[in-house]
Chains A and B, each alone.
Chain A
């Protein structure tokens, strides 16, 4: 007899009893137990397959289904907020239109209902021929894959994590002039099963870990400087993402810098054009807003026009291969296969194994970020270039309850291999006069065409920080900014950051890694952000 979750739950009384009383039976810390028995995956694959079969029997030309089990720990002190959710979603293609149906119940009966409902939804779109050309990935592989982590936070005692974070916080509190400190950690583990009507089955487990270690120092005049370790943004790692970093060294460095900052005078902004030294996380934010979102092909084609917006790449087919985004030194690649990256997957949500591509080569746009459907929209360009027209593997849904969309892959601004600069300090010393921006926030417009930077900033003279610039902001046009890229730091100084993006209706969020060295931009328009017209 085929085992299903329902029969499993009904018949396995002993197992239920054991799992029901984890404290008494196991006598152990329950902080790592899975709440739901469904995670034992008894018959789950068959249930997911039955959903796909139901959709195909209802007339779908293609169907796929996802099952997700997502666990979160928000470590905000001694007692975490913990959450678990199960998602089950079916996507069906009928007559060139998509239908989608999803819920939290994972039974064979529900799979059957979801499969049929997805086709019914697709049929609502109309009887004419739809727009979707969807070819399942050729020779698609099946299998199991688990992101490699050293310390799975969901198998650790939360006490161990909490002790470590509290130790960091206590260390910070012993440093001079510290007025407040924070040390928190968040963890996500998601197991995702995928079945398609092309016969593909994948089972992968993904992790996301992030931390916030920050503190404020102040002086007797009421001046305060808040600083944080910027290397704890989300990564595709376990607790080692936090524990294995040289945190005490970072804290000491940040504290020394913050104490120096307290001594610096605060100058008003004299608006004008300045050469700007931008730190790594600032460059990553700029890449995220001006390149990552803009090169999502569905956005460029207008599919996000009623949500987050469109792109300055308004005619991708004709702009690819000729449109200049920046100068010769701008080389940007996209990938979802780098170890430790938060966007890392073995298969995307179309079942495609992602490939590394160049998006911008010597300043020219040469590719877009696509999923299986979107890759057909630029087929003519791909064929002209002698490339196989295929998805780059950017299909992603945060949860099986969400419909997969094109989300940005991990993005890298290629460092200058010939650069002699291996630290931001050495770049500053060679910089001369100008402005240094530190950990800025970047807000783009709805076409990724222009942006506003709000930031902590220093006035640099003779290669040294001489003052804070109060309320400094900057305005830029994407193309002008990347055309004015004057210097890119060396490979050794490149850093990776897990940044987020959102799109769709209903809105869905994703994380991807953005890697960049510090850079120097010429002629950036700096303003007093608090000055009105």
Chain B
């Protein structure tokens, strides 16, 4: 099968063609081999602009066929974007050569019987997003540019719509087969507005599976307002400040926290969520499940059926309550760890999408109840400095303001911060409204790398916290 024939709708491989490619690979392979095949294709159209002028309008598309084989402990993978019979036959023969040659040289993996449960998820495909015209986006961009020119501000930004479709197949050591097909769209828009003298900068962005949820005009307005409000910042002494984190800032710390919620690490004795003593039933280091770890108003969970943070139904995934009213109630637990290490079917596949529950308290009220503190728009460039306590350091970016007596009074020069989500989530003063944040998949193909990164959708709230640690200033704007 030729790729040009398969790209029938001009952008993505059809479901029918994806399945046919998989069947071809199966037909070329030995019957007794353990294997998995993934056929995915993606398409993206982009608008990019800078210095108040469009700089590029583009369209890209690609396909990926990933084949993995396993035999007698040997395992090998090959990835290609060509789907003709010659390429696929060569790929299969290459893999069979490798796994046969090495089979038996390493101990075979323990048999992994995958559990049967319903594949849950929601439809994350928007036909309107897939067919959106770039002319329409350019009108919005031109409107933004015009407003920025009137204000004497330089804007730069990016608008992208992508679509991706994947078909998967796997065959285990008992010859049992599994197949599924999934598709998703993703829309994103982000805008940076900067003062030409580099003395003020504002940013806003949004991403979702449906372009109707991405309001380009609103994003533009926020970026422009933040730029104007952050103009000519003054220097403030570093120190600990009561700080209101906007959702985009909260999301960085919440994502650090969620990514550490793996059962494998604490049970191997690695810190953060491990504790003294061993669990006698499974002879593993005890975890902190069931213990309070953060403020009791905090609940964080992954729900594949949540319309804002849900999952494309590509594999078995179920809801995981990670933190419930401050208590650690769940740790992600992959197939291998669950079945081989624990002899358990309590599998919770790790996801980067999650919801951190908010309240109905508006940010205006959080500001008005602040005697002296800071409003933090965005954090940038985080670097881990102590994995054991999740401590990291980074910078504030695109807007930091001083709040005095319930009002925003000054724009502040950027700070370097040194903080841990464990400290932040234990020093919460108020939790505000939750909102989806800008968290697009950054790779070209949302289905290319692994099922865990199909889409990243995060909903987190405004947080007002005590004693947020700002350790030094930076002149960068």
Contacts of B58 in A (CB 8 A): 98-102, 121, 403
* A444–B380 CA distance with the chains assembled, in angstroms: 10
* A125–B135 CA distance with the chains assembled, in angstroms: 8
Q: A445-B476, A471-B385, A531-B418 are in contact. Are A306 and B79 (CB under 8 A)?
A: no
Asked if A83 CB lies within 8 Å of chain B CBs, one says yes
* A158–B95 CA distance with the chains assembled, in angstroms: 13
Asked if A177 CB lies within 8 Å of chain B CBs, one says no
Contacts of A533 in B (CB 8 A): 238-240, 418, 469-471
Q: B4–A105 contact, CB under 8 A?
A: yes
Q: A104-B81, A449-B475 are in contact. Are A79 and B59 (CB under 8 A)?
A: no
Residue of B nearest to A103 (CB): B61
Which of B3, B59, B87, B190 touches A35 (beta carbons < 8 Å)? B87
Asked if B391 CB lies within 8 Å of chain A CBs, one says yes
Q: B74–A532 contact, CB under 8 A?
A: no
Q: A302–B50 contact, CB under 8 A?
A: yes
* A126–B397 CA distance with the chains assembled, in angstroms: 32
Residue of A nearest to B7 (CB): A105
Complex interface bits, A1-45 against B, C-beta within 8 A gives 1, otherwise 0: 000001001000000100111110000011101111110000000
Asked if A249 CB lies within 8 Å of chain B CBs, one says no
Residue of A nearest to B159 (CB): A505
Q: A449–B476 contact, CB under 8 A?
A: yes
Q: A126–B54 contact, CB under 8 A?
A: yes
Asked if B163 CB lies within 8 Å of chain A CBs, one says no
Q: A121-B134, A305-B154, A306-B50 are in contact. Are A31 and B59 (CB under 8 A)?
A: no
Contacts of B475 in A (CB 8 A): 447, 449-450, 477
Residues of A in contact with B, size category: 35 or more
Which of A86, A117, A446 touches B476 (beta carbons < 8 Å)? A446
Rounded to whole Å, the gap between the CB of B197 and the closest CB of chain A is: 8
Rounded to whole Å, the gap between the CB of B172 and the closest CB of chain A is: 19
Binds A, one of B99-107, B273-281, B330-338: B99-107
Which of A29, A86, A122, A527 touches B82 (beta carbons < 8 Å)? A86
Asked if A417 CB lies within 8 Å of chain B CBs, one says no
> Which B residues from 181 to 214 make CB contacts under 8 A with A?
190-192, 194, 197-198, 201, 203
Q: B84–A83 contact, CB under 8 A?
A: no
Contacts of A444 in B (CB 8 A): 381
Which of B63, B76, B381 touches A81 (beta carbons < 8 Å)? B76
Contacts of B62 in A (CB 8 A): 85, 87, 103-104, 401
Contacts of A450 in B (CB 8 A): 416, 474-476
> Which A residues from 125 to 172 make CB contacts under 8 A with B?
125-126, 130-131, 158
Asked if A452 CB lies within 8 Å of chain B CBs, one says yes
Q: A530–B87 contact, CB under 8 A?
A: no
Asked if B370 CB lies within 8 Å of chain A CBs, one says no
Contacts of A110 in B (CB 8 A): 4
Asked if A303 CB lies within 8 Å of chain B CBs, one says yes
Residues of B in contact with A, size category: 35 or more
Contacts of A23 in B (CB 8 A): 93, 97
Asked if A322 CB lies within 8 Å of chain B CBs, one says no
Q: A104–B383 contact, CB under 8 A?
A: no
* A466–B168 CA distance with the chains assembled, in angstroms: 57
* A314–B81 CA distance with the chains assembled, in angstroms: 41
Q: B198–A310 contact, CB under 8 A?
A: yes
* A21–B397 CA distance with the chains assembled, in angstroms: 57
Rounded to whole Å, the gap between the CB of A163 and the closest CB of chain B is: 13
Residue of B nearest to A122 (CB): B57
Interface centre among A78, A98, A100, A126 (most CB of B within 10 A): A78
Contacts of B476 in A (CB 8 A): 309, 312, 445-447, 449-450
Contacts of B76 in A (CB 8 A): 79-82
Asked if A423 CB lies within 8 Å of chain B CBs, one says no
Contacts of A33 in B (CB 8 A): 90, 94
Which of A19, A82, A98, A506 touches B444 (beta carbons < 8 Å)? A506
Q: A109–B79 contact, CB under 8 A?
A: no
Contacts of B474 in A (CB 8 A): 445, 449-450
Rounded to whole Å, the gap between the CB of B126 and the closest CB of chain A is: 20
* A9–B84 CA distance with the chains assembled, in angstroms: 10
Asked if B110 CB lies within 8 Å of chain A CBs, one says no
Residue of B nearest to A105 (CB): B4
Contacts of A302 in B (CB 8 A): 50-51, 154, 156, 194
* A449–B474 CA distance with the chains assembled, in angstroms: 8
Q: B419–A532 contact, CB under 8 A?
A: yes
Contacts of A9 in B (CB 8 A): 2, 84, 86
Rounded to whole Å, the gap between the CB of B21 and the closest CB of chain A is: 13
Which of A20, A102, A306, A475 touches B191 (beta carbons < 8 Å)? A306
Residue of B nearest to A101 (CB): B59
Rounded to whole Å, the gap between the CB of B337 and the closest CB of chain A is: 20
Q: A117–B59 contact, CB under 8 A?
A: yes
Asked if A507 CB lies within 8 Å of chain B CBs, one says yes
Contacts of B472 in A (CB 8 A): 475
* A447–B474 CA distance with the chains assembled, in angstroms: 10
Contacts of B469 in A (CB 8 A): 532-533
Q: A454–B57 contact, CB under 8 A?
A: no
Asked if B457 CB lies within 8 Å of chain A CBs, one says no
Q: A19–B90 contact, CB under 8 A?
A: yes
Q: A29-B97, A98-B56 are in contact. Are A306 and B416 (CB under 8 A)?
A: no
Rounded to whole Å, the gap between the CB of B402 and the closest CB of chain A is: 16
Rounded to whole Å, the gap between the CB of B61 and the closest CB of chain A is: 5
Q: B53–A131 contact, CB under 8 A?
A: yes
Which of B75, B87, B444 touches A37 (beta carbons < 8 Å)? B87
> Which A residues from 87 to 103 make CB contacts under 8 A with B?
87, 89, 97-103
Q: A35–B2 contact, CB under 8 A?
A: no
Asked if A238 CB lies within 8 Å of chain B CBs, one says no
Which of A98, A121, A122, A452 touches B393 (beta carbons < 8 Å)? A452
Rounded to whole Å, the gap between the CB of B199 and the closest CB of chain A is: 10
Q: A84–B51 contact, CB under 8 A?
A: no
* A97–B389 CA distance with the chains assembled, in angstroms: 50
Asked if A225 CB lies within 8 Å of chain B CBs, one says no
* A127–B6 CA distance with the chains assembled, in angstroms: 36
Asked if B429 CB lies within 8 Å of chain A CBs, one says no
Contacts of A104 in B (CB 8 A): 3, 61-63, 81-82
Rounded to whole Å, the gap between the CB of A357 and the closest CB of chain B is: 24
Q: A30-B93, A99-B58, A529-B385 are in contact. Are A19 and B50 (CB under 8 A)?
A: no
Asked if A227 CB lies within 8 Å of chain B CBs, one says no
Contacts of B90 in A (CB 8 A): 19-20, 22, 30, 33-36
Rounded to whole Å, the gap between the CB of B76 and the closest CB of chain A is: 4
Q: B2–A6 contact, CB under 8 A?
A: yes
Q: A401–B60 contact, CB under 8 A?
A: yes
Interface centre among B7, B55, B57, B442 (most CB of A within 10 A): B57
Q: B93–A85 contact, CB under 8 A?
A: no
Contacts of A214 in B (CB 8 A): none
> Which A residues from 429 to 483 make CB contacts under 8 A with B?
441, 443-447, 449-450, 452, 454, 471, 473, 475, 477
Rounded to whole Å, the gap between the CB of B415 and the closest CB of chain A is: 9
Rounded to whole Å, the gap between the CB of B34 and the closest CB of chain A is: 14
Asked if A181 CB lies within 8 Å of chain B CBs, one says no
Residue of A nearest to B102 (CB): A78
Rounded to whole Å, the gap between the CB of B357 and the closest CB of chain A is: 27
Rounded to whole Å, the gap between the CB of A489 and the closest CB of chain B is: 27
* A162–B230 CA distance with the chains assembled, in angstroms: 56
Q: List 14 A-B contacts (CB under 8 A).
A: A16-B86, A20-B90, A78-B106, A99-B57, A121-B58, A121-B59, A121-B134, A126-B142, A301-B50, A301-B51, A302-B194, A306-B157, A530-B385, A531-B471
Residues of chain A whose beta carbon lies under 8 Å from any beta carbon of chain B: 6, 9, 16, 19-23, 29-31, 33-38, 78-87, 89, 97-105, 107, 109-110, 117, 121-122, 124-126, 130-131, 158, 301-307, 309-310, 312, 314, 401-403, 441, 443-447, 449-450, 452, 454, 471, 473, 475, 477, 505-507, 527, 529-533
6 A-B pairs with the lowest CB-CB distances in the bound complex, closest first:
A83-B79, A100-B58, A79-B76, A532-B469, A445-B476, A447-B476
* Known contacts A98-B57, A473-B385; 7 further A-B pairs (Cβ under 8 A): A37-B86, A78-B105, A81-B76, A85-B80, A97-B57, A104-B82, A506-B443
